[in-house]
Chain A
Amino acid sequence: MITALLSDGYIWSIIRVSLYVSLTAIALSAVLSLPIALIVGVTEFRGKRLLNAIITTGMGFPSVVVGLLVLFAVSNQGPLGPLNLVFTPEAMILSQIVLAAPVITGISLSAIDSVDGGIRDAAYAMGGTRLDVAVVTIKEAKYGIATGILAGFGRAISEVGSVLIVGGNIVSDGSSYTRTLTTAIQLEARQGQFETALVLGAVLLVLVLSVNAIVIRLGSGGGRSR
């Protein structure tokens, strides 16, 4: 039964869409989040605590609300209307960026914040440029940053609300267009297709568990090759 399901192109197309959407969203979130985390982490300015609070709030933002806001943004009347993104994988990427970026920023920020200022002074004193000092800071905070990225991935791949709203859970010709693991599970379960739902659930669990295993490994110190 399970092997029959796994040889089904339908299941694989869902996994493919899920991974495409979430991996792309995480890559873009990381590119967006790390410079912010670095700048906020190493500088002192008025309002830093407020900004920290905003980022932390963003980490727990309800995904349905994000979905709704992104739907407004990409709808015909919205600022991104001309791009025609409603019910596309790209709209789902957008909403997952909004969900994952605060997680990545928040966790990386606290890792960068906790790098001793003396380390940065040392890099500067040895003749490092501003870029060299930034690189040293990132290296010192690398486990925290990796944890942030993986936690962001965990949030992105396992959320239902926003992808359902902006993606529409669409299948065409028996192959997923905007159906992800989570929205598929929700639909299959509602239609009484419990076996399919369970297989999809198992796939999602394995994905999330492997990511968490990596996070735990990194947290325990990790390798020492640099």
Chain B
Amino acid sequence: MALRVENVARRFGETTVFEAVSVTIERGEILALIGPSGAGKSTLLRTLGLFERPEAGTVRVDQTDIWAATERERLTKRRSVGMVFQEPNLFGTTVRRNVEYGLRVRRSWRTRFRDLVPVIGNRTPPQPVVNALSLVGMEDAIETPVESLSGGEAQRVAFARAMAYDPTYLLFDEPTSDLDPRNTAVIEDAVITATRGEIGAVVATHDMHQAQRIADRVALLLDGEVVEIGPTEQLFSSPQDPRTQKFIDGELVY
């Protein structure tokens, strides 16, 4: 069971972001995607998150070739992949409505309308919502409007929102680059806790120390090419590719 891209290409008009990238993420592991800005980390994440169809290559979720599958199959498989962005991107409502969102879109429209009606609808917060919020220590803020959250709290809620519907794979696009050290630690711990429960995670980051702290494996992306991929320790202590050594030493300046 894995999330996998094979020889995928992404082009935007004249610009080619990458030509043939292959990466596999197994369940229960954290893969850090490192590389300088503009290397194609976000584009690769969006490809893994099934946002856009790649110009070439295949994307597989648990063996299913996503872009060859039917619309219905694709939706089912897509719903096992979640994503957390650099910005929290919360909806302008309460914490609870945000974290419930993933569960809500998976319900029938009938149930969704019924739950809006105060008396007959089910108004108690579902257990997964409470659990996801306690993972990041935000369970007491459940009825808080998102406007009154700090940046760090908002990002923690965004994490809870992606966890609440029990995804199999989670993608993180620079999830802590706007955060202070304390909130960064909360998110990192939550990512580690989540993957212990069989989730496969990809964390795009330009922070090599973060990669060393949390990742099982690291992939270095340079100019749209996976230069090296391997166990975290090995990649940092004895890199096989000279470009990796240069990047680690901070000599590759872009």
- Residues of A at the B interface (CB closer than 8 Å) are 116, 118-119, 121-129, 132, 136, 139-140, 224, 226
Known pairs A116-B89, A140-B91; A125 contacts B105 (CB<8 A): no
For the complex of A and B, the 8 pairs showing the least CB-CB separation, nearest first, are A125-B83, A127-B79, A118-B89, A122-B89, A126-B102, A226-B93, A128-B105, A132-B105
Contact with A along B81-110 (1 / 0, CB 8 A): 111010101111110010001100110000
B83 nearest CB neighbor, chain A only? A125
CB distance from B79 to the nearest CB of A (A): 4
Centre residue among A123, A126, A127, A136 by max chain B CB count within 10 A: A126
Chain B residue numbers with a CB within 8 Å of A128 are 101, 105
Provided the pairs A127-B78, A127-B79, A132-B105 are in contact, do residues A122 and B91 lie with their beta carbons within 8 angstroms? yes
Q: Which residues of B contact A126 (CB under 8 A)?
A: 82, 101-102, 105, 161-162, 165
Asked if residues A121 and B85 are in contact (CB atoms below 8 Å), the reply is yes
Residues of A contacting B87 in the complex (Cβ-Cβ under 8 angstroms): 116, 118
Instruction: Determine the distance from Cα of A97 to Cα of B162 in the docked complex, in whole angstroms.
Output: 43
Q: Which residues of B contact A132 (CB under 8 A)?
A: 105
B89 near A127 (CB under 8 angstroms)? no
Report the separation of the CA atoms of residues A126 and B84 in the bound assembly, to the nearest whole angstrom: 9
Q: Does A125 lie within 8 Å of B91, measured CB to CB?
A: no
CB < 8 Å neighbour of B97 from A123, A127, A226: A226
A139 to B145, CA, bound (A): 15
B85 touches A122 (CB 8 A): yes
Cβ-based interface call for B152 (8 A): no
A226 to B85, CA, bound (A): 24
Question: Mostly helix, strand, loop or mixed at chain A's interface?
Answer: helix
Q: Does B40 contact A (CB under 8 A)?
A: no
Q: Does B49 contact A (CB under 8 A)?
A: yes
| B254 close to chain A: CB less than 8 A | no
What residues of A have a CB within 8 angstroms of the CB of B105 in the complex? 123, 126-129, 132
The answer to whether A125 and B49 have CB atoms under 8 Å apart is yes
Chain A's closest residue to B147 (CB) is A224
Indicate if B75 sits at the interface (CB-CB under 8 A): yes
Measured CB to CB, the nearest residue on chain B to A225 is B93
How many angstroms between the C-alpha atoms of A118 and B84 in the bound complex?
A: 11
| Alpha-carbon separation in the docked complex, A128 to B49 (Å) | 13
CB <8 Å contact, B79 and A121? no
Q: Are B93 and A127 in contact (CB under 8 A)?
A: no
Cβ of B1 to closest chain A Cβ, rounded Å: 19
Interface residues on B, range: 20 to 34
User: Looking across the interface, which residue of chain B has its beta carbon closest to that of A115?
Assistant: B92
Binding site for A on B (CB under 8 A): 49, 51, 75, 78-79, 81-83, 85, 87, 89-94, 97, 101-102, 105-106, 145, 158, 161-162, 165
Q: Select from chain B the residue with minimum beta-carbon distance to A224.
A: B145
26 contacts between A and B (CB under 8 A): A116-B89, A118-B87, A119-B91, A121-B51, A121-B83, A122-B85, A123-B101, A123-B105, A124-B51, A125-B49, A125-B81, A125-B83, A125-B85, A125-B162, A126-B82, A126-B105, A127-B82, A127-B102, A128-B101, A128-B105, A129-B75, A129-B105, A140-B91, A224-B94, A224-B145, A226-B92
A116 to B89, CA, bound (A): 8
**Chain A contacts of B78 at CB under 8 A?**
127
* Also in contact, A118 and B85, with CB within 8 A (given A125-B49, A139-B91): yes
Shortest Cβ distance from residue B165 to the other chain A in the assembled complex, whole angstroms: 7
- A116 to B81 Cα, complex, angstroms: 22
Minimum Cβ distance to chain B for residue A20 (Å): 30
When distances are taken between beta carbons in the complex, the residues of chain A under 8 Å from B101 are 123, 126, 128
For A118, the chain B residues whose CB sits under 8 A away are 85, 87, 89
The smallest beta-carbon distance between B124 and chain A, in angstroms, is 18
A122 to B93, CA, bound (A): 14
Chain B residue with the shortest CB-CB distance to A143: B92
Q: For the complex, what is the distance from the CA of A99 to the CA of B158, rounded to whole Å?
A: 43
For B75, list chain A residues within 8 Å (CB).
Answer: 127, 129
Name the residue in B75, B78, B85, B92 with the highest tally of chain A Cβ atoms < 10 Å from its Cβ: B92
In the bound complex, CA of A129 to CA of B109 (Å): 12
Closest chain A residue, CB of each to CB of B170: A125
Residues of A with C-beta under 8 A to B83: 121-122, 125
Assembly CA distance A128 to B89 (angstroms): 14
Alpha-carbon gap, A119 to B94, bound state (A): 15
